[in-house]
Chains A and B, each alone.
Chain A
């Protein structure tokens, strides 16, 4: 089975810090995604990448950037963390011959900015 691994399950950071959320998948998937999940708002797309060094903005990219230097790794960067970025962050990937099946998700990083 495809595995998508997010490096931290829980993270607490201070306002103004630069924060890196890491995501690694082990099945050579071309497409990777970062979503933010908030109660009552569902999942909202922040950024996605369809290839190494390629990225596109999702619906809520403000305050975030991403990096994809290697195919298996997709990093979400909070340039200067703010309290309104306290949330659950989910990484996902899709590729190969299973596009119709939907994503494989990581188990999420719950980020608290204090």
Chain B
């Protein structure tokens, strides 16, 4: 079974600074998807960024980028120019690309605080 580990229960960053959230995962599969979700106080889970394992290029979405290290099974999220609205719980998630059940396995989350 796949596992996802987020080793930082809480992180904080100053507004306009850069922060990196860590995620590692364990799998024996070669093809899969990785995701970062954001959950603000409104509780609505929002997809921040995704990465296909077969793609070597790291995904980027505006101020959000990932550092995907497949051999190390590492998938960190970098938030540049942090804004107050980035304050939220962030979850890393894994999904197999094969099969048909589309289950997501989540880490335990990292609570990000952004200080003005």
Q: Which positions in A face B, CB cutoff 8 Å?
A: 31, 33, 35, 40-45, 48, 50, 56, 58, 88, 90, 92, 94, 99-103, 105, 107-108
Chain B residue contacts of A58, Cβ below 8 A: 103
Chain A residue contacts of B107, Cβ below 8 A: 42
Indicate which residue in A33, A90, A107 contacts B103 across the interface (CB closer than 8 Å). Answer: A33
Contact B45 A105 (CB under 8 A): yes
Chain B min CB distance to A34 (Å): 12
Number of A-B contacts (CB under 8 A): 59
- Would you give 5 A-B contacts (Cβ < 8 Å), ordered by A? A100-B33, A100-B50, A101-B47, A102-B47, A107-B42
Chain A residue contacts of B6, Cβ below 8 A: 42
Contact A101 B50, CB 8 Å, known A42-B91, A88-B43, A107-B44: yes
Indicate which residue in A48, A100, A105, A107 contacts B52 across the interface (CB closer than 8 Å). Answer: A100
Contact B50 A102 (CB under 8 A): yes
Contact A50 B50 (CB under 8 A): no
Contact size range, B: 20 to 34
Interface of B is mostly: loop
Closest 8 CB pairs of A and B: A105-B45, A42-B108, A43-B106, A108-B43, A42-B106, A102-B35, A107-B44, A31-B102
Q: Measured between alpha carbons, how far is A5 from B38 in the docked complex, in Å?
A: 18
Q: Measured between alpha carbons, how far is A94 from B45 in the docked complex, in Å?
A: 14
Contact B45 A48 (CB under 8 A): no
